[in-house]
């Protein structure tokens, strides 16, 4: 049975993860962590998630929590994630990262850590989204460069990064399939007199508002037809279930940098 610690346990995703663990026979809730000074500190973490008491109290001592766990699941902010990377390195623990908005330098630090410990870093832990990534590669390869590609994503008003990590990952999947570099062809906004669309670009549009959990639509627009591949999340439970699936899969794996394509066996040879 995989012993799981949750960083960011008092947040919305943290509570969803606790609920997911309660329904997963292969995992045990080992520790709950949040920032020092969190108002819920010292309370039973399962109760915070709307469940029966678990005896696991919300704390902030990362080292002590890791001593009881096989894997740490982190859905926080980049600065919290980097602290988690160092803590997991020191105790040689597996790490599942769901934090978005990591800088190129921070991603490089995660990749370096993965030379010593198993790390799963994914822009989105939804099984459905990861199936969409596979479908996007097939669509891009089959439709080819004659179709314009536009990506529209919508999230709740509290999301702090844009475009979403999932939208960028979808764009990367399409760019790779078309033999392009996303950093060279991405367009992140249009305003004013932009001129005709460059056929080699991949456009991104961002919507923020309300309580939208996460909607992503990739459009392949050709002459006389349009193909759309979309995913719409109605709750955070699907992300939590996927992250927990990754945690159970990752525990005991050799050091390396993995993502949900590896977890689900969708990685192309």
End-to-end distance of the chain based on CA atoms, in angstroms?
Answer: 30
User: In the 8-state DSSP scheme, what is residue 198?
Assistant: P
Q: Which of 107, 156, 158, 159 is catalytic?
A: 159
Catalytic annotation present for 156: no
| DSSP β-bridge partners for residue 118 | 256
The one catalytic residue in 93, 155, 216, 231 is 155
Rounded distance between C-alpha atoms, residue 49 and residue 17, angstroms: 9
Catalytic residue list contains 155: yes
Contact between residue 249 and residue 130 where contact means Cβ atoms under 8 Å apart: no
- Distant-in-sequence, close-in-space partners of 131: CB < 8 Å, separation ≥ 6: 264, 266
Closest CA to 199 of 161, 232, 150: 150
Residues marked active site are found at 155, 159
């Amino acid at each position: 049975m995989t012993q799981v610690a949750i960083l960011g346990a008092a947040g919305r995703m943290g509570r969803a993860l606790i609920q997911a663990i309660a329904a997963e026979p292969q995992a045990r809730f080992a520790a709950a962590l949040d920032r020092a000074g969190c108002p819920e500190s010292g309370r039973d973490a399962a109760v915070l998630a709307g469940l029966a008491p678990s005896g696991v109290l919300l704390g902030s001592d990362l080292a002590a929590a890791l001593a009881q766990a096989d894997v740490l699941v982190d859905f926080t902010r980049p600065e919290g994630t980097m602290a988690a990377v160092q803590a997991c390195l020191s105790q040689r623990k597996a790490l599942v990262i769901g934090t978005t908005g990591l800088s190129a330098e921070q991603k490089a630090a995660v990749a370096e850590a993965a030379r010593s410990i198993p790390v799963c870093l994914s822009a989105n832990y939804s099984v459905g989204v990861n199936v969409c990534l596979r479908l996007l590669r097939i669509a891009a390869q089959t439709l080819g460069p004659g179709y314009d590609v536009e990506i529209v994503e919508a999230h709740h008003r509290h999301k702090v990064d844009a475009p979403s990590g999932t939208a960028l990952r979808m764009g990367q999947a399409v760019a790779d399939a078309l033999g392009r570099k996303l950093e060279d062809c991405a367009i992140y906004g249009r305003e004013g007199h932009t001129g005709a669309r460059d056929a080699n670009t991949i456009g991104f549009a961002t919507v923020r508002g309300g309580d939208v959990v996460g909607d992503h639509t990739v459009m392949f627009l050709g002459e006389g037809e349009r193909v759309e591949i979309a995913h719409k999340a109605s709750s955070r439970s699907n992300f939590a279930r996927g992250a927990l699936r990754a945690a159970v899969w990752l525990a005991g794996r050799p050091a390396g940098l993995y993502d949900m394509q590896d977890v689900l066996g969708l990685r192309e040879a």
